[in-house]
Structure 1
Amino acid sequence: MSITALAVEAEDAPRTRILEAAERAFARHGFRGATMQIVAAEARMSAGNLYRYFSSKEALVSGLAERDQAALAEDFATLDVSEDPLAAMGVLLRKHLVEAPKSCSQLALEIWAESGRNPDVARICRTIEDDVQARLAALVEGPCRAAGIAPDFAVRVIFTVTAGLFKRHATDARFDGEAEVALALGVYHALFAGAVRPRAALGAEAAA
């Protein structure tokens, strides 16, 4: 490893440590309740040292968003070669709703809630959602074309179902990840079979 690479790695280590601490603090105390001092204590460093890397809670959210966006990009890069979009989505759902700890979904809910109050956080969330929606639309383009539905409609259905599962994963002690993934994949199978359509489209078909 080069001297430059070692220097970059050394600089990234405290940022990674802080982001992991912020994730734990936000999940435990909520976005509003977790002060920069709490995050610093969680990271086992002084508040002054924390501010060297992140100037505000919004900067921490931005850092978490960038980290998660990079991870999602890697996930979708792997899925792009899949010939079975449903199986590919099952892999992603299991990663986030079965394998990931409940705290990850709790953090997502905290950030989504804050995005309704804070324009800076809303902008960060919108950037991530736009990126994920574009990647999903590309992934399901073939099945949507076969089913005669628009990719943007399919993506909205997928987002709505998945957001509900994240909420239940975060808050429901009885949540059964495998059963809920199976439920979601059943909905998506019906979607790509053409059984789920906008109400206006169903009305037009009935009239015809």
Structure 2
Amino acid sequence: MKTEQDRGEARCNQVLDAAADCFRQRGFHGASMAELAKAAGMSVGHIYHYFENKEAIIAAIVERDVAEILALLDALYDDEDILQALIREAGNDIGESPCSDDALQIEILAEATRNPKVAATVQEGDRKARTRLAETIASGRERRGLPPLGDLEARTEIIIALFEGLMLRQVRHPKDVDAATIAVLRSTLQTLLET
């Protein structure tokens, strides 16, 4: 039996999914609260019960995406060799994860360039994901008996840039990520993680 909290979470996710669709299609400023409400199948007043404004909805979308990234990284700890798990998983399901929703991610980043509140939300989400990735790399190296990296932060930044760059490439050059691209990505990651 669903609790009140479960129903509330389901309604919030319903709003977030509808908002993501609207932002993807019409942009942050082009999507009105009335459109979001219609897409979510509820009243505008009901949406305001859960979210103060569109900025709060973007913040929740970013938080949901970051939570997914953290969960993916946490799952790697179950693997005996974290570094090999990172390399093996690289390129799997590119384009299928909500975190790789190109149009939505680009829309949020564009809004972050204009809106300091959205920028702060995006930057905090990035800090959390970046920190966890660095911790995951450090833990993987420690388990292997490899020395700590003096340039761990820089390597983490480059790894993130690789994945964000692939997202942007999908906009500029839409095509399936082929086996050769994934092989080069994994080889690059192996160099960054293991040397």
TM-score, scaled relative to structure 2? 0.84
**Following TM superposition, by how much is the alpha carbon of 1:139 offset from its aligned partner in structure 2, in angstroms?**
1.6
Q: Flag the 1:89–1:118 CA change in 2: closer, same or farther, 3 A.
A: farther
Give the 3-state SS of the residue equivalent to 2:29 in structure 1. Answer: helix
Q: Flag the 1:74–1:115 CA change in 2: closer, same or farther, 3 A.
A: same
Where does residue 201 of structure 1 map in the other structure?
Answer: none
How big is each residue's C-alpha offset from its partner over 1:120-169, in whole Å with a ceiling of 9 and x where there is no partner?
11111111111111111112225495595511111011011111011123
Q: Flag the 1:147–1:49 CA change in 2: closer, same or farther, 3 A.
A: closer
**Following TM superposition, by how much is the alpha carbon of 1:26 offset from its aligned partner in structure 2, in angstroms?**
1.1
Where does residue 99 of structure 1 map in the other structure?
Answer: 96
Give RMSD over aligned pairs. Answer: 2.5
Where does residue 199 of structure 1 map in the other structure?
Answer: none
Higher radius of gyration, 1 or 2? 1
Q: Which runs of 5+ in 2 are unaligned?
A: none
CA distance in 1, matches of 2:16, 2:43: 15
**Aligned counterpart for 2:86 among listed residues 82, 85, 88:** 88
- Tell me, yes or no, if the aligned pair for 1:98 and 1:177 is still in contact at 8 Å: no
CA distance in 1, matches of 2:160, 2:99: 19
**Aligned counterpart for 1:41 among listed residues 34, 38, 43:** 38
How big is each residue's C-alpha offset from its partner over 1:36-89, in whole Å with a ceiling of 9 and x where there is no partner?
222112112222222221121101011112222222222121112331424325
CA distance in 1, matches of 2:186, 2:135: 18
CA distance in 1, matches of 2:131, 2:184: 24
Where does residue 156 of structure 1 map in the other structure?
Answer: 157
**Aligned counterpart for 1:113 among listed residues 100, 104, 110:** 110
- Tell me, yes or no, if the aligned pair for 2:62 and 2:121 is still in contact at 8 Å: yes
Q: Which moved more, 1:28-37 or 1:172-181?
A: 172-181
- Tell me, yes or no, if the aligned pair for 1:147 and 1:193 is still in contact at 8 Å: no
Is 1:132 aligned to 2:133, yes or no?
A: no
TM-score, scaled relative to structure 1? 0.79
Provide the aligned length of Structure 1 versus Structure 2: 190
Is 1:50 aligned to 2:47, yes or no?
A: yes
Is 1:23 aligned to 2:20, yes or no?
A: yes
What amino acid does structure 1 have at the position aligned with 2:72? Answer: D
What amino acid does structure 1 have at the position aligned with 2:174? Answer: A
Q: Flag the 1:102–1:54 CA change in 2: closer, same or farther, 3 A.
A: closer
- Tell me, yes or no, if the aligned pair for 1:102 and 1:169 is still in contact at 8 Å: no
CA distance in 1, matches of 2:173, 2:56: 30
How big is each residue's C-alpha offset from its partner over 1:96-116, in whole Å with a ceiling of 9 and x where there is no partner?
x14337972221111111111
Q: Which moved more, 1:143-152 or 1:9-18?
A: 143-152
What amino acid does structure 2 have at the position aligned with 1:94? Answer: N
Q: Flag the 1:165–1:129 CA change in 2: closer, same or farther, 3 A.
A: same
Q: Flag the 1:178–1:169 CA change in 2: closer, same or farther, 3 A.
A: farther
- Tell me, yes or no, if the aligned pair for 2:95 and 2:101 is still in contact at 8 Å: no
